[in-house]
Amino acid sequence: MLTPGHIATSYLIVEGARNIGVNLNNEQILLIILSRNVLDVDFLVGLFNGKKGELHHQNITHTPVGALIVGLLLVFIFQINVILAALIFLSLFIHLFLDDLSHILSVLKIYKKNGETQINWFWPITKYPDRKVMTSNKEILKYYLTKAWLIASLEIICIAIALFYFYYEYSDFFWQEV
């Protein structure tokens, strides 16, 4: 999943929590959204260490162990409460799930595309599989929009729903007179 989809789905987690009565201020909402995307910081590191494109999924941040470490760091740095910590951990692990969605759907025989796993769920016990990966971001975007259309469509739907919720939540702000 691309960054806009991760932002949208993390916002949907926020709205889901609010719908069941969890009170979140703007700083907490932003922390949940940013924590979701911190796993992709390795994308920027890849510009320097050569792990571009799909290869950034082969860093520790794209493993459950890495997500756990990132979550614990955020909990200790920001001294957050249990509910916010749970939402951050949920957000981090859903990031991994969504990055591996094409593989999961192909294993479940829902999606016929040969989706290679993007996440090493059992790292450090298992190594990343040796396979040809796309290293050009342009190549990945083209593949994503033309061949992984189901996943791209699901991402667009999530973005649309998140925008709807955001507008609904903040429509008074947008329509107030200046």
- Give me the tens of pLDDT residue by residue for the chain, a chain 178 residues long: 788 899 999 999 999 999 999 999 999 999 999 998 888 887 776 667 666 555 556 677 888 999 999 999 999 999 999 999 999 999 999 989 888 887 777 777 777 766 677 777 888 887 776 666 666 677 777 777 777 778 888 889 999 999 998 888 877 766 666 5
In whole angstroms, what is the distance from residue 51 CA to residue 61 CA? Answer: 13
Task: Give the pLDDT of residue 30.
Answer: 93
Per-residue model confidence (pLDDT) at position 113: 66
In whole angstroms, what separates CA 14 from the centre of its chain? 14
- What is d(CA 163, CA 11) in angstroms, rounded to the nearest whole number? 9
Task: Report the SS3 class of residue 48.
Answer: helix
Give the closest residue to 32 by CA, choosing from 91, 97, 98.
91
Tokens of 18: 């609010």
Per-residue pLDDT at 148: 74
Per-residue pLDDT, 90: 95
